[in-house]
A and B are shown apart, each in its own frame.
Chain A
Amino acid sequence: MLTTPNKPVAGKKSDQGFVYLPLIAGWLVPGAGHFLLGKWVRGTLLAVSIIAMFALGLAMQGKLYTSVQDILDMLGVAGDLGSGLLYVVSRVLGLGAQPIQTTVADFGTKFIVVAGLLNIIAAVDAHNLRTGRKS
């Protein structure tokens, strides 16, 4: 008796190509992982949310973590690095270098860190879409 083969996992587009490309692209540029997979609306919403959060953090005179003095600084750097190229470009342009002087600037620093963490979540989501774990 013939058995029907299992259906391919939903959302799995192809087995060709580098499976980690959406993950890396999504980390470097917010939303790019979803764009690579043809999820244009999701990618646009993610990109707008993450870039806006990062930009508002800078506009609120938030600080970009640059050096590790203690464990909290280390966590801050890890969060900031989650923004990928946004962090690198901002460092090159000298943005977010001033010390925190107001409460709103402290909020801005948190906006920047959380934007990085949200970008990591979005990049992992793109990876899950690529591997078929999510549709």
Chain B
Amino acid sequence: MFHPSHFAAVLLFSLFASTVFGITMRDTPQRMFRYGAYCFILFVGSAIVLSWVMLLIAR
């Protein structure tokens, strides 16, 4: 069985979701890549920010 760390799970989820978003939401390969990268950074970045917020709230 596969037991990734929480961050590795975030990275995998972001990679696959961003790939599909990039291909389906834009028309040209260059714009697809840029939008996919943008979504990936937003996914991972928001996960990190929300993690810190939850840590600070829990204290």
Could you list which residues of chain A lie within 8 angstroms of chain B, going by C-beta atoms?
A: 42, 45-46, 49-50, 52-53, 56, 59-61, 102-104, 107, 110-111, 114-115, 118, 121-122, 124-125, 134-135
Give the contact-size bracket for chain B: 10 to 19
Q: How far is the CA of A46 from the CA of B3 in the complex (A)?
A: 24
Contact B23 A46 (CB under 8 A): yes
11 contacts between A and B (CB under 8 A): A49-B17, A53-B16, A56-B2, A59-B1, A61-B1, A103-B6, A104-B9, A111-B9, A115-B16, A121-B20, A125-B23
Known: A60-B2, A104-B3, A134-B27. 7 other contacts (CB 8 A): A46-B20, A46-B24, A53-B12, A59-B1, A107-B13, A115-B16, A125-B24
Least CB distance, B36 to chain A, in whole angstroms: 10
- Taking chain A's interface residues, is the majority helix, strand, or loop, or is none over half, making it mixed? helix
Please give the distance in Å from B53's CB to the nearest CB on chain A. 19
The CA-CA distance from A60 to B17 in the complex, in Å, is 17
Contact digits for B1-39, partner A, Cβ 8 Å, 1 yes 0 no: 111101001001101110111011001000000000000
